[in-house]
Copies of this chain bind each other. A is one copy, B any other.
């Protein structure tokens, strides 16, 4: 019986396990929290990440280790890697834990991104603004997700305030981009170097949190091909094994890379029902050295996050094409409690179903229209 160890037992670990049982896998999770979402689906090793003895116990009985979030402390990942293969590999994870290192990687690989500069002192923030201009975004180099750890600033004074609010930690200062829309693409690379890439998803955020993804995104062949080229280049440059998510801005003249996530991603949840093989199954296939599955979409899908309050279940399930995914988390404001995937044979049929669902659970506030 093949056994997979996962750092983190949140919803991503939960969905990895749900995808993995049909492959005959068993799961062990490392997570310091009590009763995390994945705990019911495997063995839960509850310990802090700096407890390397616990990490050794965790890694001891499994065939491969992976992770559901990119901020796993490198010492823990290293302790696991002393015992079993870890995918994506520790050096890859290290390269993607720091936003400035990530930008260096993009530069090396030749992918476009917004002008930016690092800063670790007030004077450096000022110097960085000279370079990138205003408005700008100040982002902590480490440990940011769902819009945390970053601030949009429109003046030098605001920039310095923001930097202090972010803990006066090392940051990058980035020119704020005017973009048409936010897109993302997920590529998966196997141990043998084979690559499979999902189509682009279009993502709608509100207050820094993903609210809705539409997939496949309405996007021409050139845009799709460009995005595919970007993710493929990264996968190869990193000798990557597993799923890699590239968040993109569509701007006049093409695509800018916004962030990389070395893992399955919220903007890929639609693949459970909307693609031939889900991102979760393909990540597992990759880290286990199995052939990758077909990433082609089936029909049209929309993913809507359930944030902060549980939805009225019977009403939501009463809409045809709705697939519910609850994470077994206590409700809390701004917390992702689950998501709904709405499926239809094509985008035209999807629009009324999505509208019906969002009337029930609340979609992202207004401005975006759905172009069928």
Contacts and interface: CB of A to CB of B under 8 A. Distances in A.
Interface residues of A, number: 35
B320 A294 contact: yes
A323 interface: yes
Contact of A298 (B42, B299, B322, B326): B299
Contacts of A290: 313-314, 317
A317 B298 contact: no
Interface string A279-294: 0000001000111011
A288 to B, nearest CB: 9
Contacts of A317: 285, 290-291, 293
A318 B291 contact: yes
A30 interface: no
A22 interface: yes
Interface of A: 1, 14, 18, 21-24, 26, 40-42, 276-277, 285, 289-291, 293-294, 298-299, 313-314, 317-318, 320-326, 328, 338, 343
A328 B294 contact: no
B328 A276 contact: no
Given A294-B321, A299-B298, A318-B291, A40 B26 contact: yes
A21 B14 contact: yes
B343 A276 contact: yes
A151 B1 CA distance: 37
Contacts of A320: 276, 293-294
Contacts of A24: 324, 326, 328, 338
A23 B326 contact: yes
Contacts of A276: 320-321, 343
